[in-house]
Amino acid sequence: YKASRYSPLMSVIRHTVVTLPTPVNISTWWNFGSLLGICLAIQIFSGLVLSLHFTAHTDLSFYVVIQSFGDVYYNWWFRALHANGASFFFIGLYLHIARGMYYGSYVFKEVWAVGVVILLLVMASAFLGYVLPWGQMSFWGATVITSLFSALPMIGGDVVIWLWGGFSVDNATLTRFFGLHFLLPFGVAGLAGLHLFFLHDQGSSNPLGVSSDFNKVVFHHYYVLKDLVGACFFIGPLLALVYFNPWLLGDPENFIEGNPLVTPQHIQPEWYFLFAYAILRAVPNKLGGVVALAAAVLILFYMPFSPKASIKGLSFYPCGKILFFSLVGVFILLTWAGAKPVEEPYVAISQGLSVLYFLYFLVIGPLTRIQDKLL
């Protein structure tokens, strides 16, 4: 490590991945941070390769995507890796956030806030990328989601026209969506570096929720090897999906060219947005639905300001654990409900689940404080 004495860059790298003091008792749930870094690298690399053979034009995009499957070497592999990599990215994100909520990582306010901003940017990038193939679900998904901004008082109509680059989803929309989809992942990478900076500055939580300042080990080789094993278990299913059933998580409608004159029978986003889509549809008022949709994600910013318990995390709070795993069930059921048609009983189910979803964030803090007083 002599080079690190003379090179500031090597010194930073050594402190980040070699000599970093790390709690001795963190579990496999802490692997998802490094796995998300691997997913981001996969998405950026595969996206760069795909961008070399893409034309952002409404008359050409769909046919370029289809033609490149057979005419460009391994384009099918990169496209399947990119599409399924997005799904695995969101699996990792949701599990990473769930771990932070369960073990109280949100007490580190800067780390948590930057993480939520990363989630928002990744969601925006995924939505923009879904529009690019210009299939039926891409076109109508872009139309439905961007039209939601028209619900904003006074400025809604102007915002929609600005997003579209005209008076409908057309070539200008596709061009700017491609540009933004290309740029946003690099912004995510920068914020991920800031996320790590705050994490290393404030320290990491642990399963017991106690101070680990006096019981730490160096990151390498203890956790480097652990992360490599986790990466194998994470990337293995991703490659299996790419090779054996690459379009399992996609929508068959997207293999039909986008047609503004033919509306699909059931418009729905990708699976990782379905929970928010169900909350949107649960509110009969358009503006109320948009507010509920935004609040479904932005409420994560509230977590660091919720009433604090004596012990970080829910490991020693039985009622809190029951509520947390109930929230997990509510999230899964909202995802299921979001894929169903807008009719009864699915609307009523979505409304009930939406209330339970928001209720968790309002109740969990006071509930743990009550248990502290009882003990």
Give me the average pLDDT of each 10-residue run along the chain (375 residues): 59 77 87 94 96 92 91 93 96 96 92 96 96 94 92 91 92 95 96 92 83 80 89 94 93 90 88 95 92 95 88 87 96 95 91 96 90 80
CA distance 315 to 309: 12
Cα angle: 149, vertex 155, 160; to 5 degrees: 40
- Give, rounded to a whole angstrom, the gap between the first and last alpha carbons of the chain: 50
Residue 57 annotated as part of some ligand binding site: no
Identify whether the C-beta of residue 53 lies closer than 8 Å to the C-beta of residue 75. yes
Q: How many Cβ atoms are within 10 Å of 307's Cβ, its own excluded?
A: 12
Tokens representing residue 344 in the block: 């009864």
Tell me if the domain spanning 269-374 has CATH number 1.10.287. yes
* pTM of the predicted structure, to 2 decimals: 0.94
Can you say how many angstroms the Cα of residue 49 is from the centroid of all Cα atoms in its chain? 22
Looking at the domain 14-267, which fold is it? Cytochrome Bc1 Complex; Chain C (1.20.810)
**53 appears as a binding residue in the annotation:** no
DSSP character string of 298-357: HGGGGGGGSPPPSSSSSTT-HHHHHHHHHHHHHHHHHHHHHTS-SSTTHHHHHHHHHHHH
Active site residue 110: no
Q: Considering 200, 220, 321, 340, which one is annotated as catalytic?
A: 200
- Answer yes or no: 204 catalytic: yes
Q: Could you tell me which of 136, 133, 131 has the C-alpha nearest to residue 146?
A: 131
Map out the domains of the chain as residue ranges: 14-267, 269-374
Report the alpha-carbon distance of residue 124 to residue 210 in Å, rounded. 36
Separation between Cα atoms, residue 330 and residue 292, nearest integer Å: 16
Q: Which residues contact 340 (CB under 8 A, 6 or more apart)?
A: 346
Tell me if residue 200 is catalytic: yes
15 is in an annotated binding site: no
Catalytic residue among 109, 216, 226, 340: 226
Contact assessment for residue 267 and residue 144, using Cβ atoms and an 8 Å cutoff: yes
| Length, in residues, of the chain | 375
Tell me what pLDDT residue 283 has: 92
Catalytic annotation, pick one of 227, 251, 253, 257: 227
Active-site residue identified among 61, 68, 204, 350: 204
- Asked if the domains at 14-267 and 269-374 fall in one CATH topology, the answer is no
**Look-up of token digits 């005419």:** 71
**Phi first, then psi: what are they for 248, rounded to 5°?**
-60, -40
The alpha carbon of residue 114 and the mean position of all alpha carbons in its chain are separated, in whole angstroms, by 13
